[in-house]
Amino acid sequence: MMKKIAKPQRTVSFFHKSLIITLLISSIPMALLTMLTYYIGIREIEREVGRTQKLQYEQVSERMDAQLAHLKFTVNQWAYNPVFNDLKNRSISKDVRFTLDLYNQLIVMKSSNPLINQVSLFLDQEGSLLIDGENGSRTIRNTDEKNRYLTLLQQKSFMFWNEALPHSSNEKNSVAMSLIQKVPIEAEPSYGVLIVDLKKDEINALLQQLNPVGQGTAFLLKQNGSYLVTDSKHGMASTTSSTPDANSLDEIIRTEVIKHNQEAEAGTFLYSADKETYVVSYGKLKNTGWFYVSATPLSHLTKPVELISKLPLGASLIGLLLSVLLSWFASKQLYRPLQHLMRVFGSDNKSLAQGEKNEVDFIENKWNYLIRERTDLQFKMEKAVPALREGFMLQLVQGHLSTFSEQRIREEFEQFGIQIQDQQFSLLVIQLYGFTNSYSNFAKGDEQLITFAAANIVDEMAGQLSKQTQIINFQDLTIGVLFISPEDHSREQIKSELFEFARLLIEPLRDYLKLQVVIGLSRITTSLKKIPVILEDTRQAVRYRDIEMENSIIDSEDIVLRGEHSTHYPFIQEKMLIQSMQMGLRDQSMQLVEEFLEALQVKSSKEFVIQQGMLQLLGNVQFAMLQIGCNPQHIYNGVNLFEQLLLIREPAAMLDWFKSKLIHPFIEEMQSIKDLQTKQIVDKVIAMLNENFMQDISLEACADRFGTYPQKLSASFRQTVGVNFIDYLTNLRLEKSKELLISTDLKINDIAEQVGYQPTYYNRIFKKHEDITPGQYREKHAYRK
């Protein structure tokens, strides 16, 4: 009989599992909700509808309140306009230009908010003027009318609501309340008021939000309970204070609201009238103190409930369908991060490895793999830190970090965990001799193995000390030991410790390696930048060893005191000078050549020796020029510099010749190359500004785009153009805006946006530079259109 082949077990994806679970979770509550809706009945739903209706009315009232608050804020902001602050010093009848600006200002204010029907200005000057931007100004001659306006100036508040004034009472589209704003705000006493009348149509539009169905009523009441605005469908023929029909729905509702308002400023209650039950909601507008009232038929609110109560099965089916769709959508949303991780980990979402039940298992396996990889990399990095530290120490002592500042070098030490705060530094230079005699069978290059073994011995013995040390393997039978001693240790104490450690080193190195050992002790310094110098001095001092002695300890300071310094040529100063010239540092190069000559004179006062040293420096400088691609023949016009230098005898003259004939032309050549590159970058930036001045452009973005850094670009831009980056961009935008002001009829706000400014900031910056506003500038140059 043939054996049955076992079918591979099918795996269920996480998506399908989550879909099933989500579907169950969402369907069960929906079924319960349907049952509750069916059995609890319409009454509970009506109650919830009532609460919802109340919340909707509160939201509508908040929007109304917000629009009125915004109106007050707008009027208050306009009151700060300079034209209102200068009214006291102006004559409306004589200063025509100012009067026209004032008319324009009132017209602009009227159009700034859709709720405003009219904006007027009353001034207690020139016989009490009432100014309207559209109708001009008139003198109020009626004493009663004038007193009504003067009482506004006596109010303590700068902004308040007031009953409609005579000039607005005749306006058919005005509400019987006006917003009053005293002017000027920044001076006392006020001598004028801005009178803002509201549009009845706009207020009615707001009321329609309280009664969108149009089957009930909605109206606004003043603080004293009288009508302010009503929809005029239930007994009110206008928005004036005429007496309404006592039997009208508006009046009945108003009376009930006044009774309830004695108990609470806002609320909802049911009221029956004309065989209809109304849901009445009322509340107080915070910014005005007015009361809003809305009455909606309950039958309209409960009409959807009746349909739902007759169709519970349909609602259930719809709910279940919605549950399925939401479950599918929720599952997709839940699965999307997993799907993204699957793509990140390189899976096609169609096949999983053996043993992986679903996508979560796959991601878990990949995550564990990444954790192992991270651990391996971290372990490798920890193993690499000693090599990095050793490489840094080699760069430091060999002078490759001469361009770094002292602080920068100290920060590097801190990063490697070496504490150098308030410390002194000294060096031991261990030189091994006799390699050829003791290891004649070793091949060339095996010195590195011996040096490595010696460095390990020194490192092991240094680890027994109670102070910080750093071992430096020069790979040439030379080992350096950097001693880090506390700053409060005396020089004699440190020297004693160095001698004692050097003495202890000689015996194990001699016995294990069978080599001669000479140890040089450096001088003590507190500057890390001087370590290359003291290393070179100590290396040179080691050369003064007595060849008759197999092992010895030499103090470099003793050699200096005996006048037996190890070299007659300052290599360190030469190296620093060449690096400074290559970097184009003029002042530093001049200083370093002086230090080079001083070092030569310290070693010897003979003219021949100094001249030979300067000639050697000249040759090394020219060689360095060739290495960086510069042609000395081109820089110095084919002049034989060696002949010129040979004719000079005095050290001071040699120094002047080096500065003027060698260093200065080379620095100028380097600077001209840099200036050409800088000018090209600045030209590109200017072209970019001219093309994109209307966009948000920053100095940092330009620097990043053209491969430089902001500080350098700022300095180069100012040096090339004559002004800084911001001033150039500002002038460019203002010039473009002037062209638009003169040649077009665009609004000033549109012009501001076209040149990259916000309107308010554009007005300030324009007036700061031109001493006039954009509008005044346009009027001044209107003849050029």
Tokens 């010239």 locate to 581
Q: What is the pLDDT of residue 64?
A: 80
More confident residue, 253 or 1: 253
Q: What is the pLDDT of residue 376?
A: 85
Scored b (16 or more CB within 10 A) or e, 232-254 reads ebbbbeebeeeebeeebbbbbbb
Task: Please give the mean pLDDT across all residues of the chain.
Answer: 77
Q: What is the pLDDT of residue 443?
A: 59
Q: What is the pLDDT of residue 137?
A: 79
Specify whether the CB–CB gap between 82 and 72 falls below 8 A.
no
Q: What is the pLDDT of residue 566?
A: 44
SS3 304: helix
Residue 235 pLDDT greater than 50, yes or no: no
* Least confident segment among 325-334, 564-573, 583-592: 564-573
List, for residues 516-530, the tens digit of each pLDDT value: 788 888 888 888 888
Please report the domains of the chain, with CATH numbers, ordered by start residue: 53-299 (no CATH), 384-561 (3.30.70.270), 570-722 (no CATH)
List, for residues 597-616, the tens digit of each pLDDT value: 888 878 766 666 777 888 88
More confident residue, 634 or 424: 424
Length of the chain: 785
List, for residues 313-349, the tens digit of each pLDDT value: 566 677 767 777 777 777 777 667 777 777 777 665 5
Q: How far apart are CA 772 and CA 515, in angstroms?
A: 90
CA dihedral 217, 218, 220, 223 (to 10 degrees): 70
DSSP letter at 662? Answer: I
Specify whether the CB–CB gap between 609 and 569 falls below 8 A.
no
Residue 3 pLDDT greater than 50, yes or no: no
Helix (H) or strand (E) holding 425, with range, is strand 423-433
CB atoms inside a 10 Å sphere around CB 289: 11
List, for residues 8-51, the tens digit of each pLDDT value: 444 556 666 666 776 677 667 766 766 666 566 656 666 676 67
Residue 126 Cα distances to 135, 150, 151, angstroms: 18, 14, 18
Phi, psi of 18 (to 5 degrees): -65, -35
392-405 mean pLDDT: 83
Confidence band for 565, pLDDT divided at 50, 70 and 90: very low
Residue 337 Cα distances to 35, 54, 352, 357, angstroms: 36, 41, 17, 18
**pLDDT exceeding 90 applies to what percent of the chain?**
0
Q: What is the pLDDT of residue 77?
A: 81
758-768 mean pLDDT: 87
Q: What is the pLDDT of residue 562?
A: 47
Cα-Cα end-to-end distance for the chain: 106
- The angle, 0 to 180 degrees and rounded to 10, between the axes of the packed helices 586-603 and 607-627 is 140
Q: What is the pLDDT of residue 380?
A: 80
* Least confident segment among 252-261, 482-491, 524-533: 252-261
Residue 5 pLDDT greater than 50, yes or no: no
187-211 mean pLDDT: 78
More confident residue, 135 or 548: 135
Write down the pTM of the prediction.
0.37
Confidence band for 192, pLDDT divided at 50, 70 and 90: confident
On the CB side of 209, CA atoms within 13 Å amount to 17
Residue 362 pLDDT greater than 80, yes or no: no
Type of residue found at 649: R
Q: Is the peptide bond before 184 cis (omega within 30 degrees of 0)?
A: yes
164-173 mean pLDDT: 71
* Least confident segment among 97-101, 518-522, 543-547, 721-725: 543-547
Confidence band for 240, pLDDT divided at 50, 70 and 90: very low
Q: Is the Cα dihedral 206, 210, 212, 214 positive or negative?
A: negative
List, for residues 652-662, the tens digit of each pLDDT value: 878 888 888 88
Q: How far apart are CA 518 and CA 429, in angstroms?
A: 8
